[in-house]
Amino acid sequence: MAEILVLVEHQGETVKKVTFEMLTAARAFGEPSAVWAGDGAEAARDRLGARPLSHAARLGHLEMIDLLLARGAPINARNLAGATALYFAAESGHTPITQRLIERGADVKLTGRSGISPVAAASYAGNDAIVEALLAQGADARAPDDTGKPPIVYAAAGARFDVVKRLLAQNIDINTRYPNDLTLLMWASGPDENIPEPQAIEVVSYLLDAGARIDDRDDRGRTALMIAAEGGHAEIANLLLARGADLSLKDKAGKRAADLTVLSSLRERLTAH
């Protein structure tokens, strides 16, 4: 059963009322299975400091969002990590809720855990519509989180093609160096392990077409080809080779791309060239 939010007003230990509108909104999603109680229940917090508005945003309950805001729920309330309802909506990919919160004045620049902004969270989730809406309201496409990564790094690592295109259109230098001297091409060439390789190849190809330097090195002396080889991304490595990557280059430990892969077929290909 889906998790449902229902607000219950009370005084001390005595329940005052459960409004008909709240139960009606809750039953639109199923039988109520979670109850928030408190003096001014919309202001209650869980053990991590999140209020009901943030839970409703995370779960995708637009009707409950409207009810909570109508009852005066603070739209920019933050949990212990700093996350707001807007952050949860962006992270969870709930476009209508993100748009509603923006319309009602949510601050698009307030960050969540590790200084990650709503636009960075949406970039990693790959929701281009949310990224577009946040940027239109003044979200900073270049703002780094606490680890120094801006939204476009999350988009490149997650192989989010549409988001990468949108963020690069914000006049971001495609060859910018991020922490550890990594470039966008390097991030895209070593995508998260759950990303389908064809999806990552689309981003790598786009970055190369847009002028990404193929043989730039990170602080270990490794290139995008070495990163792809080490990660076992054979098709990405093949693409980089076809686009002119230099397989003879060595990293600071003296290793070539062929030395870094555990895939025998890819090693043979890298050695044969």
Q: What is the pLDDT of residues 206-219, one digit of tens each?
A: 999 999 999 999 99
Q: For residues 124 and 131, what is the distance between their CA atoms, to the nearest angstrom?
A: 10
Please check whether residue 108 lies inside any domain of the structure: no
Please check whether residue 11 lies inside any domain of the structure: yes
Please check whether residue 110 lies inside any domain of the structure: no
Q: What is the pLDDT of residues 167-178, one digit of tens each?
A: 999 999 999 999
- Pick the last residue of a domain from 58, 81, 104: 81
* Partners of 9 in beta bridges: 17, 38
Q: CATH number of the domain that 10 lies in?
A: 1.25.40
- φ and ψ of 113, to 5 deg: -55, 140
* Partners of 71 in beta bridges: none
Structure tokens at 161: 């093609």
Q: For residues 125 and 158, what is the distance between their CA atoms, to the nearest angstrom?
A: 8
Please check whether residue 31 lies inside any domain of the structure: yes
- Pick the last residue of a domain from 30, 59, 81: 81
Residue 227, pLDDT score = 98
Q: Are 29 and 58 in contact (CB under 8 A)?
A: no
Number of separate domains in the chain: 2
Please check whether residue 65 lies inside any domain of the structure: yes
Please check whether residue 157 lies inside any domain of the structure: no
Residue 42, pLDDT score = 52
Please check whether residue 249 lies inside any domain of the structure: yes
For residue 201, the enclosing domain spans 173-273
Residue 40, pLDDT score = 53
What SS3 string covers the chain? CCCCEEEEEEECCEEEECCHHHHHHHHCCCCCCEEEEECCHHHCCCCCCCCHHHHHHHHCCHHHHHHHHHCCCCCCCCCCCCCCHHHHHHHHCCHHHHHHHHHCCCCCCCCCHHHCCHHHHHHHHCCHHHHHHHHHCCCCCCCCCCCCCCHHHHHHHCCCHHHHHHHHCCCCCCCCCEHHHECHHHHHHCCCCCCCHHHHHHHHHHHHHCCCCCCCCCCCCCCHHHHHHHCCCHHHHHHHHHCCCCCCCCCCCCCCHHHHCCCHHHHHHHHHC
Residue 44, pLDDT score = 62
Residue 45, pLDDT score = 64
Q: In what order do the strands lie in the sheet with 34-38?
A: 14-17, 5-11, 34-38
Q: What is the pLDDT of residues 1-59, one digit of tens each?
A: 444 445 544 444 443 444 445 544 554 444 443 444 444 555 566 677 778 899 999 99
- Pick the last residue of a domain from 81, 116, 146: 81
Please check whether residue 1 lies inside any domain of the structure: yes
Give the mean pLDDT of 179-202: 95
**What does pTM read for this prediction?**
0.82
High-pLDDT (> 70) share of the chain, %:
82
Question: Comparing 51-65, 141-155, 213-227, which segment has the lowest mean pLDDT?
Answer: 51-65
Q: CATH number of the domain that 215 lies in?
A: 1.25.40.20
